[in-house]
Structure 1
């Protein structure tokens, strides 16, 4: 699926006409704070005013949103007559935007519709030639460097009834994706770190995958090489972005505060380049998993994220060494070379410094992992993606 994608400074304003042509009233989906703090929401609202496009804002999306939030957003959109959706933020708002678009289009359906595979013979949903559920257009504007949701048709939501996260059977590919590394200049360190680990996980899991193609493997190596340029940022050894008391539109203070304005301006340019590489790596990772899907580490991570509130990136990252260890030696060397790690020990050391899973006790971890293993063994489609034999013993070894 070829998604119109633009990675450039000022991407939103540069493509105002492309945004406006997708509908007459936008439902803007965001979290509570970040889209305001990093300037992305302001840029979108400027475009709405400039083009005369009406809009409604729903800024109540939480991390790992449940279906109840989707239903509330859908209700707001129906009430205002919205006919396209803009998701601003990390994976949660973008995934939510896709789900909302489906329920806006099929506005008489209940929440169970989201988990019902499209079947035009039953009259509940139709798909186009690309397998996408026909729905209202979606625009994705990422403000983190991890999920790659702007490059895929996938939407993952929390299922409180199952105590985990589940991918919808529908595919909704964005009609437009706009990426601007300026927004990352306002991201807290932990957000950059955690989402970048998710990018790495996507690329590794797509590479070690029975669905891998020459194209997806090439994307993975390209993405990992770009990703490696941000390793010092992920480790916290290089600080990037603006100080926390600065707001969009007040960037001049960043320069004035320095005793050397020219150096400060040069640092800003360098920061933006590093962050753009991290943003590009995330987008490439999204393209790769759009071909192959994710694999065992993601499946193992969902209960950690839902039940123990571990950030998604670290929850997938901790399982990568075990996942790689069962791959053939050639594959391992290719991956470590692309990521610029000397060997497995070097890789483990990096993850030990960057994957914070909080204060989970050994007993809690064991219970969550055991339930995750049961989930995987009951879902053969997950195991089919792995190019080596998988059984309980292998899963226990990957989980450590």
Structure 2
């Protein structure tokens, strides 16, 4: 029952909450607004609304608009240089998980010398400690997927070394303020609503079956799973369903908190390897592709039978009694969200690389393998990829 909890982010949650950002104490005097390299935040009005809030607060700003779906180290370094050149002393991360992840790395490198990979632990990273305080962050999330608005980590890709690794862990990388306003999420297309929702789901599923799970992480995880199970398909079917959007956003924020209390498992390491080699693969889509084979493996190992039964119940199968009922419930949700037929081959993956991906997963993010209740070998990882392949 032991746990430690520290989640210092002030959360503004609910429809219309972005309108209250200007009322909050700003953590600096000039903001770097970081957005993606797409058009969504401009076209849906999120950028102009955020700029208006900063203007109301008397805060000048500049915009950095180069973050891609799987943010690269090179872009992080460019963003950090831009923050220094423009004298920005805090960051407003406006976007989805990629923007928030990249913003944490930019916040660190805007005040620290050297290269980001000097401070990355894992793979070819040098694991040096950050010496200077990072820039404070306000996170305005426009998606419901990663929970990055309430945790102190980000995931960055190094295209030179084919590595995708989590970065952070410093208390100062927790966003000072998180705005979780489902009004900003209504324009997310159905398939990306599904990908992001399943990412949130798997954060909680993994944290629930992980070895470090505890009393309070279980509470967050199960509540998140229940909300995803009840509302994600509705949000996918009708993006303007604000009630569904709000519940999925709630689940996502809970899933972000639960990662600070427990830990994800090797499923996330395995997917990070997939998208490290195939940058066009959305993270949530990769997780969906391997999920049924991955969790079936641990069910067959009887890693935690009772927990799989409880998760099946949380997903809506109230009479679940067998651990495999979780796979049935998971498959039904994927069908309801029209993502049950995703193909690894559509993103260029081939069976010949499965062992390489398995080895990359362990080399770059081996710590998550240590959170599995039953050890998972490279050969077993490769077999999971193979069973998932089509």
Question: Which position in structure 1 is the counterpart of 2:144?
Answer: 145
- Find the partner of 1:272 among 229, 242, 247: 242
Question: Which position in structure 2 is the counterpart of 1:58?
Answer: 64
Map 1:389-400; keep pairs closer than 5 Å: 389-399=375-385, 400=387
**What is the aligned length?**
356
**Contact 2:210-2:373 within 8 A present in 1 as well:** yes
DSSP 3-state at the match of 2:138: strand
Gaps of 5+ in 2: 1-5, 121-125
Bigger Cα displacement from structure 2, 72-81 vs 377-386: 377-386
DSSP 3-state at the match of 1:186: coil
Question: Which position in structure 2 is the counterpart of 1:39?
Answer: 45
Bigger Cα displacement from structure 2, 224-233 vs 271-280: 224-233
Note the C-alpha offset of 1:324. Answer: 2.6
**Contact 1:304-1:368 within 8 A present in 2 as well:** no
1:318 matched to 2:289: yes
**Contact 2:139-2:179 within 8 A present in 1 as well:** yes
Question: Which position in structure 2 is the counterpart of 1:92?
Answer: 98
DSSP 3-state at the match of 2:175: coil
**Contact 1:303-1:368 within 8 A present in 2 as well:** no
Q: Distance in 1 between matches of 2:185 and 2:111?
A: 32
Note the C-alpha offset of 1:369. Answer: 2.7
Residue-by-residue CA offset, 1:268-318 (whole Å, 9 max, x unaligned): xxx111100000100101111122232111111123223332211021122
Note the C-alpha offset of 1:363. Answer: 9.0
Gaps of 5+ in 1: 127-133, 242-270
Cα-Cα RMSD: 2.2
**Contact 2:152-2:168 within 8 A present in 1 as well:** no
Q: Distance in 2 between matches of 1:363 and 1:93?
A: 25
**Contact 2:15-2:181 within 8 A present in 1 as well:** yes
Q: Distance in 2 between matches of 1:180 and 1:52?
A: 22
**Contact 1:181-1:279 within 8 A present in 2 as well:** yes
- Find the partner of 2:305 among 306, 329, 332: 329
Q: Distance in 2 between matches of 1:208 and 1:366?
A: 28
TM-score (norm 2): 0.85
1:203 matched to 2:204: yes
**Contact 1:114-1:170 within 8 A present in 2 as well:** no
Question: Which position in structure 2 is the counterpart of 1:385?
Answer: 371
Change (3 A) 1:346 1:175: closer
Change (3 A) 1:169 1:135: closer
Q: Distance in 2 between matches of 1:302 and 1:375?
A: 9
DSSP 3-state at the match of 1:273: helix
Q: Distance in 1 between matches of 2:263 and 2:329?
A: 27
DSSP 3-state at the match of 1:88: strand
State the structure with more CA Rg. 1
